[in-house]
Amino acid sequence: MKRRILLVDDDLAVLLTLKAVLELHGFEVETAGSSAEAFARMKSSVYQMVISDLRMETEEAGLEVIRTARCQAYDPATALLTAYPPSGEHWDGKHRNGEDWTGENSDSLLIKPLGTGDLLRQVEALLIRQADKQLRQRNSASKAQETNRHAG
């Protein structure tokens, strides 16, 4: 079974290049050229990962895509893609408005340009980490059900 990725970027050249690279390495990739298109795709399909450009229609569009992805029942791994990473010695993973770019909103920040090897390593690592998280959650839920069955 191929792992499914939703790739969101308003730059068609970036979108098609990353799609081709990921498909050549065994991923099934669907694309969206806007946040609105991404929201529609997330409602109608299931993805193991959502990768979104940060700046699209607005500077916050990518964060909205990631927030929406993290609310999906299928709980995909998420990554923000940007050519404009925060800089400065006081960078602590926060957007300029104080919002966390990673952690609560996204599992990773991918910086463009991104080499093929780096992209693949990061995507694989994020997918493994997400699968491990989901397995732990299922095991915890199973243990809780078992405990409740014996207590009742």
Q: What is the CATH number of the domain that holds 52?
A: 3.40.50.2300
Question: Domain of 118?
Answer: 4-151
Could you give the CA distance from residue 102 to residue 94 in angstroms, rounded to a whole number?
Answer: 8
Q: For the chain, how big is the Rg over CA atoms in Å?
A: 17
What would the mean pLDDT of 56-77 be, rounded to a whole number? 92
> 77 pLDDT exceeds 90?
yes
Could you give the CA distance from residue 152 to residue 133 in angstroms, rounded to a whole number?
Answer: 29
Tally the domains of the chain.
1
For 29-55, the pLDDT digits (tens) are 999 999 999 999 999 999 999 999 998
Could you give the CA distance from residue 119 to residue 115 in angstroms, rounded to a whole number?
Answer: 6
For 93-151, the pLDDT digits (tens) are 444 444 444 445 677 888 888 889 999 999 999 999 988 988 888 888 777 777 777 66
